[in-house]
Amino acid sequence: MKGFREFVLRGNVIDLAIAVVIGVAFGNIVAALVKDLITPLIAALGGQPDFSAITFTINNSKFLIGDFFNSLISFVIIALVVYFFVVLPVNRLMERFKPAPLPETTRDCPFCISKVPKAATRCPFCTSELERVA
């Protein structure tokens, strides 16, 4: 039980749990926005009074195509929000704090194609004389 307690109380597990709860709540808000505002607006433009009630029936099986459209629109909105408010800012932040590339400290020997230090005047692998690099 001690190991389990340490696992649960570890910071990143709690952060993940909080993120899931907030994500579900955000998903519910977006689903309500789509169901109550966006799809009725689209349905009004299309002449259908209740977009979410669009269905069709095949062999007494009812297909709720309007609910599918609601879910699809919710997914697109959530994906856009996550992309523009999470992915893009994190990528920009990562680029800003990306360390500068280290200067090359080696070069290729033109005779044996081995990596040798830039300051070397003789290749340690094939013993060929190398040009000095400034």
Query: For the domain that residue 63 is a member of, what is the CATH number?
Result: 1.10.1200.120
Total structural domains within the chain: 2
Residue 51 CA neighbour count, 13 Å, CB half: 20
- Report field, pTM of the whole predicted structure over 0.75: no
pLDDT for residue 108: 94
Q: Are residues 23 and 78 in the same domain?
A: yes
Neighbours of 126 (CB within 10 A): 13
Listed as ranges, residues in the chain with pLDDT below 50 are none
State which residues form the domain around 132.
103-134
Q: Are residues 112 and 84 in the same domain?
A: no
Q: Are residues 63 and 109 in the same domain?
A: no
Q: Dig out the tokens for 40 from the structure.
A: 């009725």
pLDDT for residue 48: 63
